[in-house]
Amino acid sequence: MERTEKIKLLFVDVDGVLTDGHITMNERGEEITSFHVRDGLGLKMLMSAGIEVVIITGRTSGAVIHRAKELGITDLYQGVADKGALCRRILEEKGIHKRETVCIGDDLPDLAMFKEAGLCLAVADAAEEVRQRADFVTCTRGGHGAVREACEWILKQQGKWPKNGFTELTGG
């Protein structure tokens, strides 16, 4: 509970976290990516509660650009080889302390991100090494609402989960 109270920023991976990790391509080599609608709502609720969201992914995908824009996420970094170094730079630029951050990941490259966050979350089907280092493991698999589960958990820990639905957070 104490570690979630001061959370100001969430680092989130894409493949295996916001997606189920599958890469589907059509006959022209165009990638088809699926996102879970509940993850999007969870991220919007988190942002409405004043927590910044930063997407960091090792791959590059046009679909991720569109999804981030649709959700109102402006901090999107694709093609990142060293997620830890990027996290350090972002925290320094934003003046946010490591203990005020949470990250959610699923695979070995995300462990570098874990080192730069105060609270580390893993999706249910994350690599064993990632689950072992996580402070919280979702019950839900990546791409199937795990990010929503994590957002809900954070907001409930902070006492910010809306009792009267989404409109309580958005004022709508």
Which domains are assigned to the chain?
2-161 (3.40.50.1000)
Q: What was the pLDDT predicted at 164? A: 73
Q: What was the pLDDT predicted at 172? A: 46
Output the tens digit of pLDDT for each of the chain's 172 residues.
Answer: 567 778 999 999 999 999 999 999 999 998 889 999 999 999 999 999 999 999 999 999 999 999 999 999 999 999 999 999 999 999 999 999 999 999 999 999 999 999 999 999 999 999 999 999 999 999 999 999 999 999 999 999 999 888 876 555 555 4
Q: Which residue has the tokens 């820990």?
A: 157
Q: What was the pLDDT predicted at 2? A: 66
The bridge status of strand 119-122 relative to strand 52-56 is unpaired
CA–CA separation, 44 vs 57, rounded Å?
19
Residue pair 35/143 in contact by the 8 Å Cβ criterion? yes
Q: What was the pLDDT predicted at 4? A: 74
Q: What was the pLDDT predicted at 69? A: 97
Q: What is the DSSP letter of 52?
A: E
